[in-house]
Structure formats: C-alpha cells, structure tokens
Structure 1
Amino acid sequence: MDTNIRSEFQQVVDHMMENDFFSQWLGIELLSVSEGYSLIRMTVRKEMVNGFGIAHGGIAFSLGDSAFAFACNNRNNLSVALDVTTSFIKAVNIGDTLTAEAKEIHNGRSTGVYLVTITNQRGQQVALFKGTCFRTGKKLRN
C-alpha cells in the first residue's frame, strides 16, 4: 500500500514492526490498526510449545503484549507498559492460529488502559490480556 494513503496510525505501527524482531519471530501479521486499536494474528509453531506439548504461556502473553503495544503507541506517543496481566483460558496447540484484538478502554494524558482478547481459529477465547501504559510524550517517528 502506498505510504501516502496509509493512515498515520498504520505508519507508526509499520515503523515499530521494522525493529520489533521478537514480533517478527512470532510471525505476527498486522490485520488492522486504527486509533487506540490493533488486530494481529500468528500461527503457533512447534518451537513454541512447552514440555507438556501445549503452547508456552509466554506465546499468548507475547501476542497480547504486541497487540497492546501497537494499540497504545499508534498515536505516535511513545508509551511503555506500567502493569499487565494475562488470564489463560484454554490450551493452545501447534498449528493453532491466534488472533489478538486490542481495544482502548481509557485514553488519558499520561496513561492508557487496553483490553486484548486472544482467540483461536475456531473463535474460542484462549486468553485475556489487560495492560496499562504510561505515555512519555516522546515521538516514535518524525
């Protein structure tokens, strides 16, 4: 897509992804970005499972964390996590496709609160991530 017609929010997230090697390793695909919102997807690979043969909890947490980061930073105001929690609801397996949808709950001058719902390819909720960020006032890109 031409840079001139991509939204400012999309341009900020594209800039973030260029240097986010962990999100790249996860195989994250950006599906949608708008002000205070992001929708991303990834597929669980065999190197992401724990000793029980199910996805390591860090995988769902990391997907939620990336969606949170894209949603709270896309106004081009560098924001960092103050507090995050994840509830694991359902086991995730190799080959599952996970989608994380981050929605802004609160947009304050210095803080923001986001709720990220993580679902599998069957539309079943597998995890819930909640994050609070601090807004530094610094720009991510000029």
Structure 2
Amino acid sequence: MSAVDEGVVEAMFGEPSLAWFGFDVIEASGGCATVRVTPTEEQANGTGFTHGGVVFALADQTFAAAAISVLGRSVTADAMIQYLSPSKPGVLLTAVARTTFHDDRRAVIDVDVLMEERTIAVYRGTARAVRRN
C-alpha cells in the first residue's frame, strides 16, 4: 500500500467485504483512489465472465475510498455504472477513482474499471457526508 489516508484505513480496513472480495487498496488520498482485485472462478457468472456485481462492488469500494479521503465518514447517495466489456476471472482488474466535485457535505466521483489497459466499466457516484450525533 502506498498513500492511504488514515481516515480511509480506519473506515474501511475493518470491513469484512474488503477481504471477502479480495480487494487491495493501493491508494486513497486527496479525492483519488486505486483498488485492485483478481476475480476468482467463484466470482464468475453463468457465461464464465466476472459477475457484474463484483465489478460494481470494486468500483463502489474505490468510490468509497476516494469519498472518505475528502469527506470523512460518508455514504453513497446515488451510483450508476455502465459495463463496456466483460472481464475474465484470473485477470487483474484495477479501479481508479477521481473526485470531480466536492464541498463539505457531498462529492461526485468518477471511477474507471480497467482490465489490463482497457476500460471495461465506468461508474459515477455521489457521496454524502455523515455527521455523528
């Protein structure tokens, strides 16, 4: 792991889903994040491609890391994904997030999911800061 904000470490590294999916947080700071996974055969759909839910979860986890790095504790207000090409189990997927807008309460973040050098999905989400009572 390189530059991962302490707030991201505190918020995400206790999440069971991080290990369950096999996600590796490479970077998360300043509104940007990179997360990788090599999908397993168990994460394939009936056609033999990586299940779209795994690709979405990778994009969403990367989005969350970027959001936490600018907002602190936050939740997803909305998210959408466009699948451009299928991916294969056993081939590394890398999700790269960048914040395109943020203020003190919300952030809009775009995520590209890459298989090798090719973009296979694009995701956009809005995060909302959550304040503790």
Q: TM-score, normalised by structure 2?
A: 0.91
Q: Give, in whole Å, the separation in 2 of the partners of 1:57 and 1:70.
A: 20
Partner of 2:34: 39
Q: 2:74 aligns with which of 74, 79, 89?
A: 79
Q: How does 1:50-69 map to 2 (within 5 A)?
A: 50-69=45-64
Amino acid at match of 2:46: G
Please give the root-mean-square deviation of Cα atoms over the aligned residues, in Å.
1.8
Question: What secondary structure, in the 3-state scheme, does the structure 2 residue paired with 1:106 have?
Answer: strand
Q: TM-score, normalised by structure 1?
A: 0.86
Moved over 3 A (4+): none
Q: How does 1:1-142 map to 2 (within 5 A)?
A: 10-75=5-70, 77-121=72-116, 123-138=117-132
Q: Give, in whole Å, the separation in 1 of the partners of 2:78 and 2:101.
A: 14
User: Tell me, which stretches of 5 or more residues in structure 2 are unaligned?
Assistant: none
* Structure ID, larger Rg: 1
TM superposition shift of 1:57:
0.5
Once the two structures are aligned, what percentage of the paired residues are identical? 27
